[in-house]
Protein backbone atom coordinates (compact mmCIF):
# COMPACT_ATOMS: atom_id res chain seq x y z
CA UNK A 1 0.00 0.00 0.00
CA UNK A 2 1.42 3.34 -1.11
CA UNK A 3 1.03 6.24 1.32
CA UNK A 4 1.31 9.92 0.41
CA UNK A 5 1.31 12.56 3.13
CA UNK A 6 0.10 15.76 1.51
CA UNK A 7 -0.02 19.42 2.44
CA UNK A 8 3.52 19.36 3.81
CA UNK A 9 4.97 22.85 4.15
CA UNK A 10 8.17 22.33 6.12
CA UNK A 11 11.13 20.00 6.55
CA UNK A 12 10.20 18.90 10.08
CA UNK A 13 6.86 17.40 9.05
CA UNK A 14 8.34 16.00 5.84
CA UNK A 15 10.96 13.98 7.67
CA UNK A 16 8.52 12.81 10.35
CA UNK A 17 6.43 11.36 7.51
CA UNK A 18 9.45 9.83 5.79
CA UNK A 19 10.76 8.27 9.00
CA UNK A 20 7.27 6.87 9.63
CA UNK A 21 7.31 5.07 6.28
CA UNK A 22 5.65 7.43 3.79
CA UNK A 23 6.25 6.62 0.13
CA UNK A 24 5.59 10.15 -1.07
CA UNK A 25 5.37 13.71 0.20
CA UNK A 26 2.94 16.20 -1.34
CA UNK A 27 3.75 19.92 -1.41
CA UNK A 28 0.82 22.17 -2.35
CA UNK A 29 2.22 25.02 -4.41
CA UNK A 30 0.97 27.26 -7.19
CA UNK A 31 -2.57 28.20 -8.11
CA UNK A 32 -5.58 28.06 -5.83
CA UNK A 33 -4.35 27.29 -2.32
CA UNK A 34 -6.96 27.03 0.45
CA UNK A 35 -7.16 30.23 2.57
CA UNK A 36 -6.15 28.49 5.85
CA UNK A 37 -3.14 26.85 4.20
CA UNK A 38 0.34 28.30 3.96
CA UNK A 39 2.09 27.78 0.64
CA UNK A 40 5.74 26.89 1.22
CA UNK A 41 8.42 29.00 -0.42
CA UNK A 42 9.81 27.32 -3.51
CA UNK A 43 13.39 28.10 -2.47
CA UNK A 44 12.85 26.36 0.87
CA UNK A 45 11.23 23.30 -0.70
CA UNK A 46 13.99 23.07 -3.28
CA UNK A 47 16.54 22.76 -0.47
CA UNK A 48 14.89 20.25 1.85
CA UNK A 49 13.67 17.79 -0.76
CA UNK A 50 17.29 17.34 -1.83
CA UNK A 51 17.67 15.38 1.41
CA UNK A 52 14.82 12.95 0.74
CA UNK A 53 15.84 9.28 0.38
CA UNK A 54 15.83 8.12 -3.23
CA UNK A 55 12.91 5.78 -2.58
CA UNK A 56 10.65 8.61 -1.37
CA UNK A 57 8.89 10.70 -4.01
CA UNK A 58 8.37 14.44 -3.74
CA UNK A 59 5.20 15.59 -5.51
CA UNK A 60 4.41 19.14 -6.53
CA UNK A 61 0.66 19.25 -5.87
CA UNK A 62 -0.55 22.13 -7.95
CA UNK A 63 -3.68 23.96 -9.07
CA UNK A 64 -1.87 25.70 -11.91
CA UNK A 65 -3.58 25.25 -15.28
CA UNK A 66 -0.70 25.75 -17.74
CA UNK A 67 1.76 22.98 -18.61
CA UNK A 68 4.52 25.58 -19.01
CA UNK A 69 3.93 26.99 -15.52
CA UNK A 70 3.57 23.56 -13.92
CA UNK A 71 6.80 22.31 -15.46
CA UNK A 72 8.68 25.49 -14.61
CA UNK A 73 7.78 25.17 -10.92
CA UNK A 74 8.35 21.40 -10.83
CA UNK A 75 11.74 21.72 -12.48
CA UNK A 76 12.76 24.57 -10.20
CA UNK A 77 12.09 22.66 -6.98
CA UNK A 78 13.42 19.49 -8.65
CA UNK A 79 10.65 17.23 -7.38
CA UNK A 80 10.26 13.66 -8.61
CA UNK A 81 6.57 13.94 -9.36
CA UNK A 82 3.67 16.24 -10.24
CA UNK A 83 0.07 16.01 -9.05
CA UNK A 84 -2.32 17.91 -11.30
CA UNK A 85 -5.33 18.83 -9.18
CA UNK A 86 -7.51 20.73 -11.64
CA UNK A 87 -9.37 19.67 -14.77
CA UNK A 88 -6.72 21.13 -17.04
CA UNK A 89 -7.89 19.33 -20.17
CA UNK A 90 -6.36 16.56 -22.20
CA UNK A 91 -4.02 18.79 -24.22
CA UNK A 92 -2.28 20.05 -21.08
CA UNK A 93 -1.87 16.50 -19.83
CA UNK A 94 -0.46 15.42 -23.19
CA UNK A 95 2.03 18.27 -23.07
CA UNK A 96 3.10 17.45 -19.53
CA UNK A 97 3.54 13.78 -20.37
CA UNK A 98 5.60 14.55 -23.47
CA UNK A 99 7.90 17.01 -21.71
CA UNK A 100 8.73 15.31 -18.42
CA UNK A 101 9.81 11.95 -17.06
CA UNK A 102 8.55 12.87 -13.60
CA UNK A 103 5.80 10.68 -12.17
CA UNK A 104 2.37 12.17 -12.73
CA UNK A 105 -0.69 11.85 -10.50
CA UNK A 106 -3.97 13.16 -11.92
CA UNK A 107 -6.74 14.05 -9.51
CA UNK A 108 -10.23 12.94 -10.50
CA UNK A 109 -13.04 14.51 -8.51
CA UNK A 110 -15.62 11.96 -7.38
CA UNK A 111 -19.12 13.38 -7.82
CA UNK A 112 -21.22 11.17 -10.09
CA UNK A 113 -20.30 7.87 -11.69
CA UNK A 114 -20.53 8.83 -15.36
CA UNK A 115 -18.66 12.11 -15.05
CA UNK A 116 -15.92 10.58 -12.92
CA UNK A 117 -15.47 7.62 -15.26
CA UNK A 118 -15.38 9.96 -18.25
CA UNK A 119 -12.59 11.96 -16.59
CA UNK A 120 -10.75 8.75 -15.77
CA UNK A 121 -10.84 7.61 -19.40
CA UNK A 122 -9.60 11.00 -20.63
CA UNK A 123 -6.72 11.42 -18.20
CA UNK A 124 -5.32 8.00 -17.36
CA UNK A 125 -3.31 7.55 -20.62
CA UNK A 126 -1.14 10.52 -19.57
CA UNK A 127 -0.47 9.79 -15.91
CA UNK A 128 1.12 7.13 -13.71
CA UNK A 129 -1.46 7.29 -10.92
CA UNK A 130 -5.03 8.44 -10.39
CA UNK A 131 -6.05 10.16 -7.16
CA UNK A 132 -9.74 10.19 -6.25
CA UNK A 133 -10.67 13.24 -4.18
CA UNK A 134 -13.50 15.59 -3.27
CA UNK A 135 -14.32 19.15 -4.30
CA UNK A 136 -15.94 21.56 -1.86
CA UNK A 137 -16.46 25.31 -1.97
CA UNK A 138 -14.64 25.50 -5.28
CA UNK A 139 -11.53 23.79 -3.92
CA UNK A 140 -10.27 20.39 -5.00
CA UNK A 141 -8.57 18.40 -2.26
CA UNK A 142 -7.43 19.49 1.18
CA UNK A 143 -10.95 20.33 2.36
CA UNK A 144 -11.41 17.41 4.76
CA UNK A 145 -14.72 16.47 3.08
CA UNK A 146 -15.23 12.70 3.15
CA UNK A 147 -15.31 10.95 -0.21
CA UNK A 148 -17.97 8.59 -1.55
CA UNK A 149 -16.18 5.30 -0.96
CA UNK A 150 -18.82 3.24 -2.74
CA UNK A 151 -18.36 5.27 -5.91
CA UNK A 152 -14.58 5.23 -5.46
CA UNK A 153 -14.67 1.43 -5.41
CA UNK A 154 -16.46 1.38 -8.77
CA UNK A 155 -13.96 3.79 -10.32
CA UNK A 156 -10.98 1.83 -8.98
CA UNK A 157 -12.26 -1.34 -10.62
CA UNK A 158 -12.37 0.48 -13.97
CA UNK A 159 -8.98 2.18 -13.69
CA UNK A 160 -6.01 0.90 -15.68
CA UNK A 161 -3.62 2.85 -13.45
CA UNK A 162 -2.91 2.49 -9.70
CA UNK A 163 -5.31 4.59 -7.64
CA UNK A 164 -4.87 6.62 -4.45
CA UNK A 165 -7.97 7.36 -2.40
CA UNK A 166 -8.28 10.72 -0.65
CA UNK A 167 -10.95 12.91 0.86
CA UNK A 168 -11.62 13.15 4.57
CA UNK A 169 -9.36 10.26 5.52
CA UNK A 170 -8.11 10.03 9.11
CA UNK A 171 -6.46 7.30 11.17
CA UNK A 172 -9.94 6.52 12.53
CA UNK A 173 -11.70 5.87 9.21
CA UNK A 174 -8.81 4.74 7.00
CA UNK A 175 -9.19 0.99 7.50
CA UNK A 176 -12.90 0.95 6.66
CA UNK A 177 -12.25 3.10 3.57
CA UNK A 178 -9.51 0.74 2.40
CA UNK A 179 -11.71 -2.29 2.94
CA UNK A 180 -14.53 -0.70 0.97
CA UNK A 181 -12.45 0.53 -1.96
CA UNK A 182 -9.35 -1.71 -2.11
CA UNK A 183 -7.05 0.92 -3.66
CA UNK A 184 -3.32 0.80 -4.32
CA UNK A 185 -2.64 3.91 -2.26
CA UNK A 186 -3.96 6.31 0.39
CA UNK A 187 -3.42 10.08 0.57
CA UNK A 188 -4.03 12.34 3.57
CA UNK A 189 -3.59 16.00 4.43
CA UNK A 190 -6.09 17.58 6.84
CA UNK A 191 -6.70 14.21 8.54
CA UNK A 192 -3.22 14.35 10.07
CA UNK A 193 -3.23 18.10 10.71
CA UNK A 194 -2.73 19.66 14.13
CA UNK A 195 -4.71 22.53 15.57
CA UNK A 196 -3.06 23.02 18.98
CA UNK A 197 -2.40 26.38 20.62
CA UNK A 198 1.24 25.96 19.61
CA UNK A 199 0.42 25.51 15.92
CA UNK A 200 -2.59 27.65 15.12
CA UNK A 201 -2.03 27.42 11.37
CA UNK A 202 -3.37 24.53 9.34
CA UNK A 203 -0.04 23.84 7.68
CA UNK A 204 1.45 21.78 10.54
CA UNK A 205 1.04 18.03 10.98
CA UNK A 206 0.56 15.79 14.01
CA UNK A 207 3.42 13.29 14.21
CA UNK A 208 1.36 10.66 16.05
CA UNK A 209 -1.48 10.87 13.52
CA UNK A 210 1.00 10.47 10.66
CA UNK A 211 2.50 7.37 12.27
CA UNK A 212 -0.92 5.86 12.97
CA UNK A 213 -2.15 6.54 9.43
CA UNK A 214 0.90 4.99 7.79
CA UNK A 215 0.88 1.96 10.09
CA UNK A 216 -2.77 1.22 9.29
CA UNK A 217 -2.18 1.60 5.56
CA UNK A 218 0.96 -0.53 5.54
CA UNK A 219 -0.74 -3.32 7.49
CA UNK A 220 -3.63 -3.46 5.04
CA UNK A 221 -3.29 -6.31 2.56
CA UNK A 222 -4.19 -5.06 -0.91
CA UNK A 223 -6.55 -7.31 -2.79
CA UNK A 224 -7.72 -9.34 0.19
CATH, residue 29:
3.20.20.70
Question: Is 187 part of a structural domain of the chain?
Answer: yes
Is the torsion defined by CA of 14, 16, 18, 24 positive or negative? Answer: negative
Question: Is 215 part of a structural domain of the chain?
Answer: yes
What is the number of H-type helices and E-type strands within the chain?
8, 10
State the Cα–Cα distance between residues 141 and 156, nearest whole angstrom: 18
Question: Is 155 part of a structural domain of the chain?
Answer: yes
State the Cα–Cα distance between residues 24 and 57, nearest whole angstrom: 4
Question: Is 164 part of a structural domain of the chain?
Answer: yes
State the Cα–Cα distance between residues 22 and 122, nearest whole angstrom: 29
Question: Is 224 part of a structural domain of the chain?
Answer: no
Number of domains in the chain: 1
**Can you give the residue range of the structural domain that contains 160?**
2-219
pLDDT tens, per residue, the chain with 224 residues: 999 999 998 999 999 999 999 999 999 998 776 655 667 889 999 999 999 999 999 999 999 999 999 999 999 999 999 999 999 999 999 999 999 999 999 999 998 899 999 999 999 999 999 999 987 666 676 667 788 999 999 999 999 999 999 999 999 999 999 999 999 999 999 899 886 555 555 568 999 999 999 999 999 986 65
State the Cα–Cα distance between residues 32 and 45, nearest whole angstrom: 18
DSSP 3-state assignment of 213? helix
Question: Is 44 part of a structural domain of the chain?
Answer: yes
State the Cα–Cα distance between residues 135 and 59, nearest whole angstrom: 20
Question: Is 134 part of a structural domain of the chain?
Answer: yes
Amino acid sequence: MLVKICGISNAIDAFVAIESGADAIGLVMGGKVLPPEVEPHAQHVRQFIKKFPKEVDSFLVTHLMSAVEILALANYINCTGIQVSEDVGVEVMKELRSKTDKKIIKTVVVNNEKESLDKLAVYEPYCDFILLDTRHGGYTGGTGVTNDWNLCAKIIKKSKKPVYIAGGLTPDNLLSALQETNPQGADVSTGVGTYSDEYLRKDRKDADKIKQFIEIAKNYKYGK
